[in-house]
Each structure stands twice: as C-alpha cells, then as structure tokens.
Structure 1
Amino acid sequence: MKLTEEQQAIVQSEGNIKINAVAGSGKTTTLLTYAQARPQQKILYLAFNRSVKLEAIRKFSEAECHHVEIETAHSLAYRAVVRGSRFRIQQNDLTTYQIKEILNLKPKGEALSEYVLAGHISRCMRLFCNSSERKVQELDYLATVSGEEAHEFVKKHYDEIIHQTRLLLAKMNRGEVDITHDFYLKKFQLHEPILPYDCILFDEGQDASPAMLDIFMRQDHAIRVIVGDTHQQIYRWRFAINSLEQVDNFKDYYLTQSFRLNTHLSKLAEAVIHYKFLFTSNLNINIAGVGKHRKSQVKATIGRTNLALLVKAIDMLVENGEIESVYFEGNFSSYTYAQDGGSIYDVLSLYNDYKQGIRDKLIRSMPNMDALETYAEKTDDAELKTIIEIVKKYGRKLPYLMKELKQRHLADGEKGKADMIFSTVHRCKGMEYDEVTLLDDFITEDSIDKLFRDEGSAVADALTEEINLLYVAVTRSKNKLRIAEKLLPKDFDVPPTHHIQVIKPPKVSKKENKTTAIPQFRKSQPTYANKRWTEKEEDELVAMFNSGTSIEDIASYFERTKSAVYFRLKKLGVIYD
C-alpha cells in the first residue's frame, strides 16, 4: 500500500522516536514497513498482550519479516526468570482467601478485617510488581485507594499491609508459594536485563506498566520506538502509565489519518476529546477520518461496565427477542466472575442463603449479603460490586437468564455471525466493527463539569480516563454509530447522515416502569386461577422452578394460586408426590 507522508517520515526516521497515533491510523502497518526498511537489524516488537502478539506474528510472517521477534513483556520475563527455574506459576492471581490462609491473618477487631486486609495485600502486591520501585516500602499505596471506607481501612492498617505484602513476596521468592505472572515480570525488571536487539518497537505505550517502561528505557544500546495514543489510556486502574509522556529526548511523530473512521465519526471523536478542555488547556488532537466503509454486517454493543452489558443482553435476547445469537468479547464467563474468583452463582447462593452451593471460600465465609457488600466497599472491589448488583436485580431468575445467554452464545470462530457482539471498552480495545451501539453508562459533559467544579484537580486523572473510555468506544465503529443523546458534546452538530444515529431517552409511561429484563413479581391477588396455561407460560414456569424460585413467589408472579402452580408443575412432570 502507498504510505502517507506521516508514515513515510516515520519509516525514514533515525534515532529514538515516539509516535502518537490516532485510532485506526495503521500503526501496525507503519511499524511493519519501518522494520522492512531495516533488514540487517535484529528487531524486537513488544506487543501489549497475547492476542495482539498472535495477530502481529501473522502479519509480520505474511510480509516475510523474519528478522523481527515478537514478544510480550511477560513472555520475555518468563523466558528469563521462570524457564528452567524452581518456580511454579499460579495461573490466576492468588485469591483473598488464599492470601489470608498463607499469611495466617487474624481478625483485627473489625468484622471481616482479615479478608479486607488480604484484599489490600493482594492489590498492594500488584501495584509493586507493576511499578518501577525496587522496594515495597517505597510505594505510596494509600494514594491509589479510592472509596471512603477503603481509604479509612488502609490508613488505619497501612504498616501491616506493607509488612504482609513483603512477607508474601518473600515466600514467592523462596518458592514456598506459587508465583504470579506479575511477580516474574517484576523480578525480570529488578534484574536490569540488557536485551540483545538493535531496535525495539514498543506498542500501546499509553498503557505501559512502569516496570516494563523501566526495562525499555534501560536499553541505551538499541534504537527505541514507542507508539501509542495518549487518548486511549484506559488502564490506569491497573497501575499503567502513559509512557509517551514519560520519555524525554525522543523525537515526536504523529499519525493523524484514520483509515477506520469516516469524516463524521472522526469529528465526533475529536469533540469527545475536547471534553478535556473543561479542566485542561494542554490538549492536542487532530483526526482526519478517511474511512470509506459501507457495510453493516458485524454489529456490536459496547458498554463501560459488565452490569450494563449483561442487563442489555438479557433485555435484547430474553425479554424482547430482538436477537437470537450473541457473542461476548473476552469469554462470556469473564463477565460473571470477580477478579478474586467468586462467581455470580456463588453470590446468588449467598443471596438465597444456600451456603452448600457456594464454591468460593471467601464468599462462603460471609454470614450474609450485607457482610459481602461491606467487604466489597472496604476493598473497593468494583467487579464484586457489579456481581452483587446483578444478583440483587434478578434474584432467583438469574440461573435461567444465564443459561439462555450461554445457549445462544456462539463459538470464537463464529463471532462474525452473531446477531450482536457485546463488549466492555477494555475487552474490545484494538477491535473494530461495522456498526456500534453505545450504552448510556459512560460519563457525560454535565457530569465532567460538575465533578471538576466540586473536586478540582484531584479528579483530573480519573476524568481523563473516563473521557478516554468514551473516545475508545466511539472509535470502534467503521460505518455507523448509535449513541445516546446525553453522551453527545453540547457543541457538536449532528450531521444529516446515517453514520451517526442519536438515541433519544425512552419515554416511560405512568403505567409502565420496567426496571428488569423479566417483570418483577406482581403483588396483586390471583386473577388467573381458571385461565389456561400457555406454552410460553409453562416454559417460564419450569425455568423459574428449576432455578430455585419458591412456589409462593411463582404464584405471585403469575397471579395464580399456589395450588394451581403446584398441580401444573406436577402435570408437566417436574415434581412428583
């Protein structure tokens, strides 16, 4: 393909450079051409994650660019630290319960304090392993904690958290505890390795871990190229930093033409970034949309949170029957599990006071839902909070709803055939779709303005990331974007085009106030005692009974007597005398 002037300048550059590339600007193609122009050099391409690595391997192999090695930070670290060593890897992060047991943590006079302490030890360890610091005590962990209850707990127990984090890391280092992936990356960074390459290409630099950036910046013998998009930094919550702003003496280059976005979508993306003018004057954004896509085959719904996505999927698939097949980016089960390992079904069992149905040891240790909610607040566990909200919203209907979603979920190879693809922004980063619908759980201009007026510069970083989330979501579309009216910038004039469809707020009548995907149990007296059961009602009846809903609640829902429900279940062969 013919290169743009911006791409050509990068390919012909010399020395260390950093490239700020807008969404869909062909940065992988640019890096590939850059490497092709240097066939005598041994080049390392550092990919953001495994899926990006595999895609890059495919593209570089097809171009016969065999002098380029493609790795992730973790694959480099694994080869240097783990292979041939005594270390055993913990495939998932240690759970709160495991940490409590390993360190023999005891209650501190507060309910669940040993579990809350373990949760913060886990998070503090992740912070250290991703940082450039050499000692745990050099961290300022308290500064990373949000949520009033969590902040108060950490402030009170700070020394204990730091001490126990050091003990846990020491146990890993001695081989007494299986190590995490973050641990061996940290150990790699502390070794100060010299990488045997003439040139290193560092992709997705806006979301680099400080540990990996420290390794990259030590490679003074090599030409270094760092590429990313400042406005796509969305992993600050995972302790990532925008390395494009951290590196000095690297010549600046830009890729401002987007081959994905058309003119209308690029203007909207620019307008979203302009939200940042509400709290900063230091802003540089220019996107030239040159995309010519016309297809609307692959459709996606993108939300900020798992909760909003699951509610929307249930609404479209189960209640309204708008779609028949779905695909969730990043594996459907990941939307129903907390980072600590507890599942939506564990929380549901606790909600139903069915302790024997709880597999996760931490959740099983909770006396009730109130205790679990207190734990989630004190640890500021966003994923667990989401699961609690879903369970409280749907209750005993949840197993039936999850079963429906799983049965209609297509395999990875069939993704493009799904009636609708669902994804959070984080899971679809780097992806693109013909048509995108945004849920309305993103930040709005009014919210940004109010938060900054109330809180000032203390919330600037958090607001920046929220705006970036909306920007990344908007820029996933190649052809058409459906967006809620409240998410649009106030000074953005929607062009008369099919490429942007504004979703007006729904009109809710006084007679109708649906808040869940399946109507709430009705409270009126039985009025359909003698009415024939429809096939649809029978299917729903069986599903509710099998999911653990009581006959009393089923009777209330269908507005029938308990005996009518009982005898219908008996006739259907679901229950026996």
Structure 2
Amino acid sequence: MNPSTPHTPTEEQFAALDMARQGNSFKVVAYAGAGKTTTLKLISENLQGRGLYLAFNKAIANEAQGKFPKHVRCQTFHSLAFRHVPRDITAKVSLPRLTPARLADELRLSPIQVLRQFDGIPKPVTLTKSKLGTIIGESITHFCKTSSAYPAPRHLILPSWLSDADDAALRQQLYPALEERWLQSIDARHQAGIGHDIYLKLWTLSNPAIPADFILFDEAQDADPLMMGALIKQDRQTIYVGDAHQQIYEWRGAVNAMKRLPYPQTLLTQSFRFGEAIADVANVLLKALQETIPLKGNPNRQSSVEKQLRISQKDAILCRTNAGAMARLLTGLKANHKVALQADSSRILRFCQGAESLKNGKSAYGIAELAYFNHWGEVQEFSETTDGSDLKTWVKLIEEHGVSTITQAINALSTPRCADYVVSTAHKSKGLEWGRVQLADDFLYDVTERSVKISAEELRLLYVACTRGQDTLDVHDVNDLLYALTTKKLIYD
C-alpha cells in the first residue's frame, strides 16, 4: 500500500465496493495514484469464492500475492495459459529459437528488392533473407496479439515507408511463409523454439473457462484484443481496473479496452500521490484529451510546479525516448553525477551494436530502426529528413560520443538506491513515483502563433510522466506546451 494512502476508504472506494457486491462485471476507472491496488484489495476481502487477480508481469503478480487475501490467486495471463496448454507445445519454449536467417532458409525465402523514398527520390532497398525472416517473426508475434483465429496477409508487419504497390505485392508474396511458420509453431513435432505468445494464443483459441468465481484484471487499458476476447467470454464476474489516459502501448497492440468495454463504471479520481498543483498540470492534459472529469490532488499533500527555472535538485528526469534518456545520462556522467538509468538498456546497446555493424559494412537486420539501411551514411542522410527525424538524436549521440563511450556509460551505471537521480523514459516510469520529477525536452509537439499540434498518444505519455512526481514537478522544458493547451487552438496530429 502506498504510505500516503489513508487506511479509511474514500467514498469512491466504497462506491466501487458496493458495485462489486452486486455480482456483475464492471470497470473501475482509476486515475494516477488513486489507490487502485488498495481498492482491489478491499473488494477481494469482501467477495466470496475463488478470486483471480491478473497482471501483466510476474513481478507485479508476486507483489500482489503478498497483499491480497488467501482466496485470491495472483497470476499473469501467460502463467494461466501455460497450465492449460499441452506440455509438448509449452516445452518448445525452452528449445533454441531460429535466427532470422535460419528462419528464412527454413521458409525458402529469397531476397526481395523494393524502393524507398529519400526526400522524394526513390532508392532501391534490398530486403535480405535475414530481414525477411525478421518480418515473419514479428508478424507472428503481432498475429498472436489479435483476436483473429488464423493468420492473414493483413497481419504481416511491413515497413511503413513501402509504396502501396510494393506493400500489396509483398503481402501476397510473404503470406505463405507466415502461414507455414504459424503451423510450424503449433506443431509439437517441429523442433524449433517458440515465444510465450504462441501458447497464450492457443489457449485463447480453445475458448477456455477460467477457474475462478471472480476475476480482477489490473491495468486493463493495456490489454490487447487477445486478452480482452478471452475475458469478455467468461460467464463470471470480471472487474476491469485501469485508466484510459494511461494507455501508452498502442505500438505493442493495446486497444484501450477501458473505453470499449460495454460495462457500467465507477471512478477513482482522488490521487494520493501528489497535491493540487501537480493535479492542475495533469488536468491541462486530460482536458486536451477531452476528459470532462478532473483529477483531484491530495488535500493533505503539498506539491509545487516549477515553470521558470529548472530546479537543481531532482530525483528523476523523465524523457520520451531511449535516445533522450541516453543524452541526459551522458550529460550527468560528464558532470560527475551518480546516475541510474530506467530505460531499455538492452535496446540501446543493440542500437549501438547495429550502428557499429553498419559503419563496418555489415547488416543491422536485428535492430528495427536500422534494419533497412545498407551503411551508416544512409542513416545519417535519412536522419536529416522529416521521416527520419526520430533518428537524429541517435546519430548525434553516436557521432559526438562514439559507440564505445555509450556502451561504457551503460555498464557503469549506479543503482537507483545509490544514485543522485534516475534518468528514465516515460514508458519505463509507469507505475513508479519520485519526490522531485523533471520533464525532459524531447516530447513531440509543435506550438505555433495560433495553434498547438500534438497527438493523443503524446498527451497520454505526458500525463503518465507528470503524474510520477509527489512533491515537485519541473515542467520548464514543456511549459510552452502547457501554456499553449490553455490558450491556443488544439490540432490533433
């Protein structure tokens, strides 16, 4: 339980309990820091029969098991599925996985040439066997997250820059390989390793009856169609808990289920994490997201928002991207700060390895951002275009510091407990909190004289970031956006 959460339930928490006692499925819309775990615990203590708490990762499920009563089992979706899928399939998880090149050979794929536009000039790009193998592997993962019963050409994950003609031709050409790989994955006799998504997909396709009298589904806004399809078919009470405005995983297949579910809802709008000043910032973003119900700050907690000058003291810097976090990390280390990194370190290292490969004339097929370039010069050129702007910070970092310096910096990180502060991406900060939070300057939006242009996804990411702070929130680097959202025309990107 959050130490700032009162032991006496609020009226909103009692309202959720009253709805749970009616025995019907419903959803609990829980704003940032609003005590959803405490509410779920309260509900589970007052419901009879076998309970099941479902979480997205094992660490959260294990932590929950220590908080919930004994009649509630805490699991992940994958562990639930693992028990009910034949062992000759689940055993394939421990077998060696095919590399993209080996997979391409297995599926008899040959290189394919397509065209890519570089500032309006078409240039030939060869999709090597390794790249095609990667496409098939990623497409199987994508298919497994959908509610579809069988793979189709639409499930192929192809480069977004393909022309319509190349896209259509490639789907027709690669679909037989996608179908064959799916059939191999669910064949116990085929001795190539599989990912965990395969047996989860098989389990949901069997129309399972989940062994519980009531189900508590946490962070429901991040569910993909596969998970939602399995739950909504259950004939037992299911309580979905989450916040549609904290749905920041669309790129992973999440569908913002909290808004789509056809169930009555109850609200948790009282945050215990921070005071009114930080709630006011969050409400600017919520209003831009067309939310009419405001977030309320904790009246017993004093919080402040810094707008004019950056505070010198902070516990966390929250960035939009791994590249932005890496830049802040290097700046901190140069100033002899002890810095911890709450970002995708392995992905950063893979990007650096891919950059080094391209510089040495080798392929970087395993790195999504670099897979379709033949050499580093192409990456540099593309980063200067509008379409490639997301690579610009990476190119600048690698050109200024070099791959070895970045790698050494990651390997020399402090632990969060020993660090002066943590540098984190906003995605990695979800579910965490710090006393003093500073927002970085790499969030994506465009403020002009009369309007502000920003995507709903970016607004949600900023909402997650700004609600991580407890005492102080430094918004200096995004203050122009916050001001524009209250004074200018909003254009959704």
Q: TM-score range by the shorter chain?
A: 0.7 to 0.9
Alignment-derived partner of residue 242 in structure 2: 228
Give the deviation of 1:146 after TM superposition. Answer: 7.2
Stretches of structure 2 lacking an aligned partner (at least 5 in a row): 1-6, 115-124, 305-310, 488-493
Give the deviation of 1:91 after TM superposition. Answer: 8.9
> Which residue identity is paired with 1:226?
Y
Question: Residue 73 of structure 1: which of 73, 77, 80 is its match?
Answer: 77
Alignment-derived partner of residue 299 in structure 1: 315
Is 1:21 matched up with 2:26? no
Q: 2: CA distance between counterparts of 1:145 and 1:350?
A: 21
Give the deviation of 1:188 after TM superposition. Answer: 1.1
Distance 1:11 1:410, change over 3 A: same
Q: What TM-score comes out, normalization by structure 2 length? A: 0.81
> Which residue identity is paired with 2:458?
E
Give the deviation of 1:487 after TM superposition. Answer: 3.2
Give the deviation of 1:253 after TM superposition. Answer: 0.4
Alignment-derived partner of residue 275 in structure 1: 288
Alpha-carbon deviations, 1:497-537, whole Å to 9, x = none? xxxxxxxxxxxxxxxxxxxxxxxxxxxxxxxxxxxxxxxxx
Alignment-derived partner of residue 8 in structure 1: 14
Kindly, what percent of the aligned residue pairs are identical? 28
Alignment-derived partner of residue 237 in structure 1: 251
Alignment: residue pair count: 452
Query: In the TM superposition, what are the counterparts of 1:46-445 in structure 2 within 5 Å?
Result: 46-60=54-68, 65-81=69-85, 83=87, 85=89, 87-89=91-93, 96-110=100-114, 111-114=125-128, 115-137=130-152, 140-141=154-155, 147-149=160-162, 153-175=166-188, 176=190, 177-220=192-235, 222-248=236-262, 250-277=263-290, 283-290=291-298, 292=301, 299-318=315-334, 321=335, 323-329=336-342, 332-337=345-350, 343-351=351-359, 353=360, 368-370=375-377, 389=395, 392-394=398-400, 397-407=402-412, 409-411=413-415, 415-444=416-445
Match of 1:87, SS? helix
Instruction: Indicate conservation of the 8 Å contact 1:91/1:180, yes or no.
Output: no
Alpha-carbon deviations, 1:38-80, whole Å to 9, x = none? 2x310000112223222212322xxxx1100011111111222
Match of 2:330, SS? helix
Instruction: Indicate conservation of the 8 Å contact 1:97/1:361, yes or no.
Output: no
Q: 2: CA distance between counterparts of 1:466 and 1:198?
A: 38
Give the deviation of 1:218 after TM superposition. Answer: 1.1
Instruction: Indicate conservation of the 8 Å contact 1:112/1:375, yes or no.
Output: no
Q: 2: CA distance between counterparts of 1:373 and 1:160?
A: 31
Alpha-carbon deviations, 1:217-259, whole Å to 9, x = none? 1111x111001101011111111111112221x2210000000
Give the deviation of 1:82 after TM superposition. Answer: 5.8
Q: 1: CA distance between counterparts of 2:452 and 2:167?
A: 25
Give the deviation of 1:118 after TM superposition. Answer: 3.2
Match of 1:136, SS? coil
Q: 1: CA distance between counterparts of 2:217 and 2:33?
A: 17
> Which residue identity is paired with 1:312?
R
Distance 1:86 1:228, change over 3 A: closer
Give the deviation of 1:156 after TM superposition. Answer: 2.9
Q: 1: CA distance between counterparts of 2:452 and 2:162?
A: 20
Alignment-derived partner of residue 487 in structure 1: 481
Q: 2: CA distance between counterparts of 1:361 and 1:126?
A: 16
> Which residue identity is paired with 1:10?
A
Q: 2: CA distance between counterparts of 1:11 and 1:467?
A: 31
Distance 1:244 1:367, change over 3 A: closer
> Which residue identity is paired with 2:269?
T
> Which residue identity is paired with 1:25?
A
Give the deviation of 1:477 after TM superposition. Answer: 0.7
Stretches of structure 1 lacking an aligned partner (at least 5 in a row): 278-282, 338-342, 453-461, 494-577
Alignment-derived partner of residue 470 in structure 2: 478
Q: What TM-score comes out, normalization by structure 1 length? A: 0.70
Instruction: Indicate conservation of the 8 Å contact 1:90/1:181, yes or no.
Output: no
Give the deviation of 1:365 after TM superposition. Answer: 11
> Which residue identity is paired with 1:421?
V
Instruction: Indicate conservation of the 8 Å contact 2:54/2:217, yes or no.
Output: yes
Q: 2: CA distance between counterparts of 1:83 and 1:451?
A: 54
Instruction: Indicate conservation of the 8 Å contact 1:206/1:229, yes or no.
Output: yes
Give the deviation of 1:103 after TM superposition. Answer: 1.9
Instruction: Indicate conservation of the 8 Å contact 1:307/1:386, yes or no.
Output: no
Q: 1: CA distance between counterparts of 2:389 and 2:49?
A: 45
Give the deviation of 1:445 after TM superposition. Answer: 6.0
| Structural RMSD (CA) | 3.6
Match of 2:429, SS? coil
Instruction: Indicate the structure (1 or 2) with the bigger Cα radius of gyration.
Output: 1
Is 1:468 matched up with 2:460? yes
Q: 2: CA distance between counterparts of 1:298 and 1:201?
A: 36
Distance 1:140 1:400, change over 3 A: closer
Distance 1:95 1:160, change over 3 A: same
Distance 1:165 1:285, change over 3 A: farther
Alignment-derived partner of residue 459 in structure 1: none
Q: 2: CA distance between counterparts of 1:364 and 1:117?
A: 10
Instruction: Indicate conservation of the 8 Å contact 1:302/1:422, yes or no.
Output: yes
Q: 1: CA distance between counterparts of 2:389 and 2:95?
A: 22
Match of 2:34, SS? coil
Q: 2: CA distance between counterparts of 1:267 and 1:393?
A: 40
Structure with the higher helix share, 1 or 2? 1
Q: 2: CA distance between counterparts of 1:195 and 1:472?
A: 32
Match of 1:122, SS? helix
